[in-house]
Amino acid sequence: MTFYERLRQETQTERQALYAVPQVVDALQGRISRETYIAYLTEAYHHVRHTIRFLMAMGVRLPDSKKWLHDVIAEYVTEEKGHEEWILNDIDAAGGDREKAKSAAPRLETEVLVAYNYDYIGRKNPVGFLGMVYMLESTSIDIATAGASALQSGLGLPQNAFTYLSSHGALDVRHMEFFERTVNRIIGESDQAAILEVARNTFRLFANLLRSIPCGVPGHAA
């Protein structure tokens, strides 16, 4: 079994728990309100805007033996640049207020997800951040594109209100192939343990984030 296969197997419980969150189930059936969708995008903005900062913080703290990961980080930085702007554009297209979303205080659950990753990178093991990468990209592949399609149908919003979800679902298939090759090069037990720990915990924290979003049905305020 490769480490990637082990990672997928050993995070299955946390991943399935995330997919069982009522907000996720309802979104995949197109049964949430526009206000709920905008609330989700707002929280997405407040964690996605840290992605490049996470990657850079990881790179700075890598020991000399892990310098080969700098090329991986550079690839991710190039791919992730500007994604928070996609989210703000989607908020506009969905009838929301991008400036209000930018200035809004993130929910505590979003703050905890962000703080956990900065803390782990800085205090424990920077390689562990690859667990967060795995959580986000596997989630995108499994539910983002399907969610975008269901929501567009259920809410009657234009296609350009789903740029973030639609693009991520398609992009992350290729990203996951790159990720699989990367993590299978990581052979140190402590680094593998760190990636597994962060993946499990960020599945749980992201589930908490999604669960915290008020869930309204189409045609009603959230």
| 0.85 surpassed by pTM | yes
- Could you give the percent of the chain with pLDDT greater than 70? 94
- Residue 217 confidence (pLDDT) above 60: no
For the chain, domain boundaries: 3-212
Question: Binning pLDDT at 50, 70 and 90, where does residue 219 land?
Answer: very low
- CATH code for residues 3-212: 1.20.910.10
Residue-wise pLDDT for 111-150, tens only, equals 999 999 999 999 999 999 999 999 998 888 778 778 888 9
Neighbours of 61 (CB within 10 A): 15
Residue-wise pLDDT for 14-40, tens only, equals 999 999 999 999 999 989 999 999 999
